[in-house]
C-alpha cells in the first residue's frame, strides 16, 4: 500500500489488511519530504516502533542535491529506534537489492521466519550500524 502521508484515509479502513511493516521514504533532495515523514510519524501507534518501522532514504546518489542533513535522519533513527536504509532508486541494481532487503524485513515482521522476531532483527540492524 502506497500512501503520501499518514493518517491513512479512513474510507478504506475496511479494505486494508494487517500492517506488518511501515517504510517511511525520505527523499534526501527534499526538505518537504522530511517534514512530511516527521508529521506522519505522530500518527503511528507506539507498538509499531518495536521493529516494524524503518526509514528508507532515497536519492543518495546525487550528493550535490542533498537538502536533508544526515544528522536529521540519524535523529529520527534514534528517537524512533528504527533502522535506516539508504538507496538510490534510479539505479536498477540498487533498487532491486533494496527491494529484496525490504522484502526480507517484511517476512520477519510478518512472522514468516521462525526464530527471528521483528524486535530482535530491528535491534540487530541498529547495532550493526553503530559499529
Partner 1 sequence: MDETVAEYIRRTVLKIPRDEIKTMLQMWGFLSEAQLQTLNFHQAKDNISQEVVQLCEDNSADIKQAAALDIIYNHVYPNKRMWSVYQMSKSGEETDFFDLTDFKKKFKRRLQTALKNVTINFREYEDNAIWIRIAWGTPYKKPNQYKTSYVVYHSQTPYVFISASVIRSTLPLLCQTLVAASNYHDIREMELRSHCLNSLKDIVFKRYNQTFQTYYPRPLQERNVTSENVDLRIIQENKNEKERILRVNREVFGDGPQPKLEFAQYKLETTFKSNPTLHVSDIKEPFRCLVKFSSPHLLESLKSLAPAGLADAPLSPLLTCIPQKARNYFKIRERKGFFPGSFVSP
Binding site for partner 1 (CB under 8 A): 1-5, 8-9, 12, 30, 32-33
- Nearer residue to partner 1 within complex by CB, 15 or 42: 15
Shortest CB 74 distance to partner 1, Å: 24
Expressed in angstroms, the distance from the first to the final Cα of the chain is 33
- Nearer residue to partner 1 within complex by CB, 33 or 82: 33
Shortest CB 65 distance to partner 1, Å: 12
Backbone torsion region of residue 22, taken as left when φ is above 0, otherwise alpha when ψ lies between -120 and 50, otherwise beta: beta
Backbone torsion region of residue 40, taken as left when φ is above 0, otherwise alpha when ψ lies between -120 and 50, otherwise beta: alpha
- Nearer residue to partner 1 within complex by CB, 32 or 74: 32
Shortest CB 1 distance to partner 1, Å: 5
Among residues 10, 67, 3, which one has the least CA distance to residue 35?
A: 67
Amino acid at each position: 500500500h502506497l500512501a503520501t502521508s499518514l493518517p491513512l484515509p479512513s474510507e478504506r479502513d475496511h479494505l486494508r489488511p494487517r500492517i506488518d511493516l511501515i517504510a517511511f521514504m525520505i527523499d534526501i533532495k527534499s526538505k518537504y519530504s522530511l517534514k512530511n515523514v516527521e508529521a506522519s510519524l505522530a500518527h503511528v501507534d507506539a507498538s509499531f516502533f518495536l521493529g516494524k518501522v524503518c526509514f528508507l532514504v532515497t536519492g543518495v546518489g546525487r550528493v550535490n542535491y542533498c537538502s536533508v542533513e544526515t544528522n536529521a535522519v540519524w535523529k529520527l533513527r534514534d528517537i524512533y529506534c528504527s533502522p535506516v536504509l539508504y538507496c538510490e532508486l534510479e539505479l536498477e541494481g540498487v533498487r532491486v537489492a533494496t527491494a529484496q532487503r525490504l522484502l526480507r524485513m517484511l517476512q520477519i515482521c510478518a512472522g514468516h521466519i521462525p526464530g527471528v522476531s521483528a524486535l530482535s532483527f530491528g535491534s540487530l540492524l541498529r547495532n550493526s550500524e553503530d559499529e
